[in-house]
Structure 1
Amino acid sequence: MASTQGSSPRTNGKVITILSIDGGGVRGIIPAVILYSLEAELQRIDGPNARIADYFDVIAGTSTGSIVTALLTTPYTPPNPPANASKTNPPPNASITNRPREAKEIPEFYKKHGPAIFQKRKAPHNSNSGSSLMAVIGFFKDQLKDKLESFLNIRYDNSTLQLTVDEEVGTIRLADTLTDVLIPAYDIEHRKLVTFSSHQERNKVPKSSLPLRQAVLGSAAAPTYFPRHHFQADGKIYNLVDGGMAANNPTLLAIREAINIFGSRDDNSPFDWILDLKRGIPPLASLLFETSADMVDTYTSIFLGGGQNSRHQFLRIQDYTLNPKQLKMDKATEDNFNNLINIAKQLLDKPVSFPSSWIGLEPTTTNRNALGRFANDLSKIRGDAAKKLSRR
């Protein structure tokens, strides 16, 4: 079952819930606002202590999505807790030691730290950054070599990104997240996808010491923006760049992870709720990544049975109407963040979108209404799980 450290049971044994968050730089504020809306609805139903991590068996995030994943699933100490707060007398909305932060704080995280992370400082042109981009070139082989060579100069160093992740995530191990998480990255030395799994790390003997921050920094090391992330843990050496190189949409990886944790299901509804959060269709330069990501949605809908029945299992929220200026992943200005927040709020009132395999099916509800239904079902699932646990 999913990790229960500092968190209540979230599965009733019959239903598995998955949250998937794509990459996209500063555009990660869009799914952050969506999650704020979902958590607010859960708090309306279950009380102010409800947190996203309480309701999902697996949370997967790529690139900036890995940062959101970490913020949602790690214990959080409020910056100014009440003077009388302690382990035995926690503040009303979050305990000191073992509860995650509220989702409403994540949009503010982007606004606070984004400008410094994407400040115009070029990384040193050394073997680290150079080999990173050359490995990316090798990944795409000769047909894209000329285009990628124009990006050989990394735009930003990663010192502020590292400092920010260190401050927000701390020293917590990947094995100790408050629910099971999955974070993909791409190893440029071995030319392969690496998936960091809290479930796998927790079940290693001896228990893994791999820090969560290392997985996040590896997944967020976007080529052309940041240098690769190099580290050693548990006897392995990693040279990582953005997980979007191979899995910008981690939904299928999350499904595989759930199967690894819970086993295959005998019925026709193996995963009753999957929430897939995206952040807009990017310009042509990222088309290859996004084509692959959209195919993941199609495969997911097929896996769930396709057509009308899948609507009740797979909710994807994405805006297809953003213009190129709104899609820059490093435009970390106050005006742009406010625009992206407004875009997310407007997206909530737009009709639900469906994977390409469902073209021709008329939307029946808005994203906001779908999230409301989602929240009610999640609350019921968690309530059934708590009752089941109390009877043991």
Structure 2
Amino acid sequence: TAPNKNNHKQPLYAAKDIVSFYKDHAPKIFPQSKLPLKSLRSATDVLWKFWGPRYKGDYLKDLLKEELGDTTLKETITQVIIPTYDINRLFPLIFTTAEAKMDESKNPKLVDVCMSTSAAPTYLPCHEFESNGSSRKFNMIDGGVAANNPTLTAILNERKEMILRRQLATEKNKEAELKITPKRMLILSLGTGSFKKVGKYNAANSSKWGLFDWVQKNKTSPIIDIFSDASADMVDIHVGTIFQYDHDLHKNDPDKRNHPRKKDYLRIQAENLTDELCSVDIATEKNLRDLETVGEKLLDQRVSRVNLKTGEFEELPDKKESDGETVFEEFEGLLVKKGTNRHALIEFARLLSAERKRR
């Protein structure tokens, strides 16, 4: 969403460039240990967690400066909402393009915003900066500590901005702004993968844990896992409630009444991955290649919805497929199976394109 240096109406990178960008730079942002024995590497990793951030973050900062330069938040091509957390004030701070355009003190450089939201505790150091027009200092860490799944944050900020746009609307565009309501929202939520498995932790074992065990156990951090999953799951429940149950679509199917409406909210998340695939920092060539494979397979999986009673993701069956008929649709020369994440994304793109043309 950062503007291209040669054409400010075009993005710095296209979506298709993301995979190669990660492959090129992730191994340098998260350099892997060169110690020969795996057990020795694991022991060293544990020690580093108690002596400071695992990575210095110098390469990431240099890369962001090279790519983004002095570009500020208000210059983004699309409206962005980026959650961070100020450890000095012990309060979440949400950077948005809309507020940056109205208040220069809320218009920091994109380099600082990116460093802030990347500063995951124990992995990368906290980021301190000052913004133009602001006398305060920002002491930032990754916003995931407050909004591990930022979907609800995006919805609430859009509603706030919707009210503001109506207040500031001129007579010329007031009618168009009034037509934009929460009911017309489309939510696309892309997860980063989850290794959550039933039975991973239990009361019998955890009741004997001390501080060290809660922080580090079997190459994972139970306390961080629990807080992260709980935060993300609560968002799924809240968003599902906001969009309400799809009683009309599934009124004769009691098993599906507990899912949010089908076409308003699309959550794509890879479940039950290995610890390595869910790791923040295992940037080996093999792991990055395996992650790419997971993403490709995920596109052709059926659309899933969180069951608001059980908290589990469940695939939504296709009525025609259950009768033995598989339905495909041709899209740009490819046959795409209906009911899959790939097809749902195409449908989303069509709806957004039609809405843009309508405006």
Superposition deviation, residue 261 in structure 1: 1.4
Q: CA deviation at 1:328?
A: 1.3
* SS of match in other structure, 1:310: coil
Alignment check: 8 A CA contact 2:49 2:122 kept = no
Tell me which of the two structures has the higher relative contact order, counting C-alpha pairs closer than 8 angstroms and 6 or more residues apart. Answer: 1
2:208 aligned partner: none
Aligned length: 270
C-alpha contact (below 8 Å) 1:152/1:224 kept by paired residues: no
Supply the distance in 1 between the matched residues of 2:286 and 2:350 (Cα, whole angstroms). Answer: 34
Matched, 1:190 2:89: yes
- 1:74 equivalent to 2:2? Answer yes
1:89 aligns with none
Where does structure 2 lack aligned partners over 5 or more consecutive residues?
34-45, 167-177, 196-219, 250-259, 319-338
**What runs of 5+ residues in structure 1 fail to find an aligned partner?**
1-72, 78-94, 122-146, 386-392
Structure 2 equivalent of residue 180 of structure 1: 79
The residue number in structure 2 matching 1:300 is: 239
Distance in 2 separating the partners of 1:279 and 1:228: 22
1:118 is the counterpart of 2:46: no
One-letter code aligned to 2:121: P
Q: 1:158 and 1:168 mapped to 2: Cα distance?
A: 15
Per the TM alignment, residue 287 of structure 1 is displaced from its structure 2 partner at its CA by 2.5
Contact 1:230 1:238 in 2 (8 A): yes
Decide which of 317, 323, 343 is 2:274's aligned counterpart.
323
How far did residue 149 of structure 1 move? 11
Aligned mates of 1:269, 1:196 — CA distance in 2: 21
CA deviation vs aligned residue, 1:253-305 (integer Å, no higher than 9, x gap): 11111112112989985343100000211464423112211210110111112
Distance in 1 between residues matched to 2:21 and 2:50, nearest whole Å = 28
Q: Within the alignment, does 1:357 sit opposite 2:331 as a pair? A: no
Q: Residue deviations 1:335-385, cap 9 Å, x none?
A: 111111111000001111112317677344111111121111111111112
1:178 Cα deviation (Å)?
0.9
The answer to whether 1:280 aligns with 2:193 is yes
1:355 to 1:151, Cα distance in 2 relative to 1, 3 A: farther
Q: Distance in 1 between matches of 2:269 and 2:101?
A: 33
Change (3 A) 1:338 1:112: same
**Map 1:218-237 → 2, pairs under 5 A:** 218-233=116-131, 234-237=134-137
Which of 43, 58, 69 is 1:159 aligned to?
58
Amino acid at match of 2:3: P
CA contact (8 A) 1:306 1:357 kept: no
CA contact (8 A) 1:271 1:304 kept: no
CA contact (8 A) 1:279 1:319 kept: yes
Judge conservation of contact 2:71–2:110 (CA < 8 Å) in 1: yes
Query: Normalising by structure 2, what TM-score?
Result: 0.69
Q: Please list, as runs of the form range in 1=range in 2, the aligned pairs for 1:357-376 lying within 5 A after superposition.
A: 357=308, 362-364=316-318, 365-376=339-350
For the structure 1 residues 117 and 383, does the alpha-carbon distance in structure 2 shift closer, same or farther, using more than 3 Å as the test? Answer: same
Q: Which amino acid aligns with 2:72?
A: R
Distance of 1:151 and 1:356 partners within structure 2 = 38
Q: Percent identity?
A: 33
Q: CA deviation at 1:235?
A: 1.7
SS where residue 185 of structure 1 aligns?
strand
Structure 1 counterpart of 2:158, one-letter code: A
Give the residue type in structure 2 aligned to 1:325: E
One-letter amino acid matched to 1:381: E
1:98 aligned onto 2:26: no
Which one of the candidate residues 245, 261, 265 is aligned to 2:145? 245
Matches within 5 A, 1:13-162: 73-77=1-5, 96-100=7-11, 101-119=13-31, 151-162=50-61
Answer whether contact 2:95 2:106 (CA < 8 A) is retained.
Answer: no
